[in-house]
Structures are given as C-alpha cells and as structure tokens.
Amino acid sequence: MEIGTPGVVSPHRESLEVLLFTDLVDSTTLKGRIGDAAYVAEIAVPHNRYFRSILADYSGAVEENYTGDGFLASFPRVQDAVAAALRFQQA
C-alpha cells in the first residue's frame, strides 16, 4: 500500500507525519451568494491552485484528500507543515 493514496489509511505508519487541514470558511454561504460559476472561477480555482503550489515547495508533502472546500495534506516535518500553513493563511 502506498502512503499518501487518497482514501487509504495505512494501519502501520513507520514514521511521523504531520497533518494539515484547510477549510474555506462559510463556502456554502458564499457559493449561494455569488453563484456556483463565480465561486468556482473566483474562489475555488485560485484557492486550490495556490495551495497546491505551496505544497509542491515542500519535499515529501502529500495532498491526502480534497474536500471541495479544503484539503488534508501530510508533511514529514513539523517545520514544513507550520511554514506551509502560515504561507497559505497570509495569502
């Protein structure tokens, strides 16, 4: 089983992994207010692209799951997870 495969949980982790969760707060309300097409074009696509670009900067970081309005990612180093979270939050 490959670690990092979406939807698969390994019962035996051989190393520490740090999990990072993201969420677009009130995304359902926002989508209802501006409409699906505008939400996707103006919010979701840029949000997803930016998060994935940050994730790519950290060796060993894996996008574990995409929830539609957020991500679950894993990092092998605590420092990298915190740095990525801060970068994403300050964007």
Model confidence over 7-40: pLDDT tens digits?
A: 555 565 567 899 999 999 999 999 999 999 999 9
Q: Average pLDDT of 37-49?
A: 95
pTM exceeds 0.85: no
64 pLDDT band (50/70/90 cuts)? very high
Phi, psi of 10 (to 5 degrees): -80, 130
What is each CA distance from 68 to 11, 29, 43, in whole angstroms? Answer: 26, 14, 11
Question: Per-residue pLDDT for 2 more than 50?
Answer: no
Q: What is the model's pLDDT at position 4?
A: 55
Q: What is the model's pLDDT at position 91?
A: 81
Provide the CA 40 distance to its chain's centre, in angstroms: 16
